[in-house]
Amino acid sequence: MAVYDIIKGALFLVLVVIGLPGNLLIMTIFSLILVSGSKLLLTEIMIAGIALVNFILIITRGLPATLLVLFNLNNLYGDTGCKFLIYSARISRSLAINLTCVLVCIQCITLLPPTSNLTSFKPRLPRYILAVCSLILMLNVLTEVIPFMYTVSKLNGTDVQYSFNFGYCIIAVPNAIIFFTFTFTYFFRDFTFVILMIISSVIILQILFRHRIRLSNIRNNVQSQQTAAEVRAAKVVVALVTMYVLFIGFENTIFLYQITVSTYIHRVVSDVRHFFSACYATLFPTVVIMTNIRIKHALKCVFKGNQSSC
């Protein structure tokens, strides 16, 4: 096995080993909280949704790459299996971006002062968010049809100019028109959601900056404690967005280079891009588990075995 394959297999294996149990833990804890009769905050529901799509992304992108390198399991899935694998990976990746954007927008609206024109919008926020998420899911299912149509397990010819080779599966686009149509569409789609995330994060930071003295001095009533909790949650969301923008920015920079400058989409470059696309899915649960109070409390109960106080 080549040195490159060993390094690639080890890196993707780290993503799988950390990402799968981490995201599964978040989903399990929030599910148990819901089953126990407690309510989840809207932001917690969104975090659980992001954990779900991250889990799917790691299974459909990180795990196949790991199996390919470590166990040389190529041509394992066939054309039908590859279509399902790549289609699921692309939808879960897009949903991770979309839901993270929705999460930061929710946090931004939640932190708006009572004098804001959007204050009356807050009570109806869960209903609108459900509609927005349903629309996002439908759009992603429809827009990912083109890669689904041209995904195969192996190339029949030698022309790889308009192909994305994952090693275990290949997206082989037949001509330049289709190739540039769907690649630039996806690039600008991601770019739009990233810009919206950045704008919402900047607004959150402005709100925190303007109210930092008032929020740090008032600690004696329930409202102030709730406000402080919202501020902590907002800081975590901003940290997640910063992390996401770095990873997705690096990935999309490589992707833009692939579709505009490079005349041949080299497999190594694609591997690097796909690795960074899965990094957020792995680091996301680590940040959430370390900062979410309800998850930390649940884990403390498990480790201490004191179920009566949980």
Number of domains in the chain: 1
Helix, strand, coil: what percent of the chain each, to 5?
Answer: 80, 5, 20
Residue 55, domain member (yes or no): yes
pLDDT tens, residue by residue, 207-261: 877 766 555 554 445 445 555 566 677 778 888 888 888 888 888 888 787 777 7
| Selection from 284, 295, 289, 230 nearest residue 96 by Cα | 284
Encoding tokens for residue 77?
């899935």
Task: Give the structural domain span for 294.
Answer: 3-305
Range scoring the smallest mean pLDDT among 53-62, 116-125, 148-157, 277-286: 116-125
Determine if residue 78 is left, alpha or beta; phi over 0 gives left, psi from -120 to 50 gives alpha, anything else beta.
left
The CATH number that applies at residue 256 is 1.20.1070.10
Angle formed at CA 299 by CA 296 and CA 304, multiple of 5 degrees: 120
pLDDT tens, residue by residue, 144-171: 888 888 898 887 665 567 778 887 888 8
| Selection from 265, 256, 95, 253 nearest residue 167 by Cα | 265
Residue 310, domain member (yes or no): no
Sheet containing 170-172, strands listed edge to edge, beginning at the edge strand earlier in sequence: 151-152, 170-172, 163-165
Please report where in the chains the tokens 């919008």 appear, as a residue: 121
- pTM for the structure as a whole: 0.87
